[in-house]
Structure 1
Amino acid sequence: MTEGEGSRLTIDDEIIARARIHARDVLADADFELDLSALEWTVSTRAKRRAGACRWHADRETATVILARRAYDRYDWPEFAGIVRHELVHAWEFRRFGESGHGPRFRERAAELDAPRHCRSFTEPRYVLRCLAADCDWTAQRHRASKPVRSPDGYRCGNCGAAYEVEHAASGRTWTTASEFGGAKAALGDEW
């Protein structure tokens, strides 16, 4: 093996290195106590909806920050760095309180770090839910065939409470019942 073989850096190594450097710089400039040695970093190659996540391991008092490679590929660095700061707030909450969410405490700390509360989607949804009421413009996006996608007749619009339809984004086929979902899936076959 020649020098450097077997030790080549991957895109995941780059993501983690940049995230760690950014975290160190952010925390050095902020009144924000978080022990970076209590953080683990990893990259998800499968994530399609969440640009980042933070998992708490209470038994080890360690937080794992998970960053999505697809988000890194699609966002510019300033936007991706915002995701790193967002996950740092979660890590801080876990370390300090044993729990984390997006409530007032999170929002206050996120504002201090200029971290977004939510990130924009970096993948196209497979399904779009759309209210059927004429005076409501509610929509929601889904990336997997969850119960509200498979059985929309059992759920209601998140805004006005009316019925909604589901659209298979790639084909444009729509349905409002579980049986229509089955029919659309069967009709699309391999294109599903």
Structure 2
Amino acid sequence: MTDGETTTLDDEIVARARIHAREVRDEHELAIDLGAIEWAVSTRARRRAGACRWHADREVATIVLARRAYERYEWPAFAGIVRHELVHAWEFQQFGESGHGDRFRKRAAALEAPRYCETFVEPRYVLRCLEADCDWRAKRHRASKPVKTPDQYRCGACGGGYEVEHVASDRTWTTASGYGGAKAALGDDW
């Protein structure tokens, strides 16, 4: 930094992530080219704490970290997210693709990285099976088609019907008209 410049929270996140990435690479002898990784911070992300995007044309991975997750988690948990995304970057660099399969699972375990990152905000909606012997639930952060028109979709486990709950208000619906009614009733509180 030069005189008069201040460090932002995003600068802090990227700096800590880069330092941690170097430590992980060196400690675990991870064959990853840190020079071919770009770092970014998302101020909009609400669900994913991190993401890794591969730009095959440039052979560069961009690791995007969520500012809200950094603010919500303690450093050890957030460092796990950085390691998780490093595994994706490593897979992209080595194999041109990445997922959460066996290869990812093994490398993530070696780096003590979580296989999946927990969400860091409460969902806006919860889908819940209506069958008595089924405990299927799904969380949604946006009003997707299954949220707006639950009568056109089925439970992900047993195939039964499900209801949608608007978490902030506890209102539930099972049809498209129920969704519209709940949204209209809540107005500005939607």
Which residue pairs with 1:59 in the alignment?
57
Please give the root-mean-square deviation of Cα atoms over the aligned residues, in Å: 1.0
What is the SS of the residue equivalent to 2:138? strand
Tell me the matched-pair count: 189
Q: CA deviation at 1:31?
A: 3.0
Matched-pair identity in % = 73
Corresponding position of 2:69: 71
Q: Residues of 2 paired with 1:105 and 1:138: CA distance? A: 28
Distance in 2 (alpha carbons) for counterparts of 1:68 and 1:56: 18
Partner of 1:111: 109
**How far apart, CA to CA, are the structure 1 residues paired with 2:3 and 2:13?**
20
TM, length-normalised to structure 1? 0.96
- Runs (4 or more) in structure 1 with deviation over 3 Å come to none
SS across alignment from 1:33: coil
| Separation of aligned partners in 2, 1:156 and 1:31 | 46
SS at match of 1:66: strand
Q: How does 1:151-162 map to 2 (within 5 A)?
A: 151-162=149-160
TM-score by length of 2: 0.97
Unmatched 5+ stretches in structure 2: none
- The letter for the 2-side match of 1:107 is R
Partner residue, 2:3? 4
Measure how far apart 1:4 and its partner are: 3.3
Gaps of 5+ in 1: none
For 1:46, the aligned partner's letter is: R
Could you tell me which amino acid in structure 2 is paired with residue 115 of structure 1? A
Q: CA deviation at 1:118?
A: 1.1
The residue matched to 2:100 in structure 1 has which SS? coil
Are 2:179 and 1:181 aligned? yes
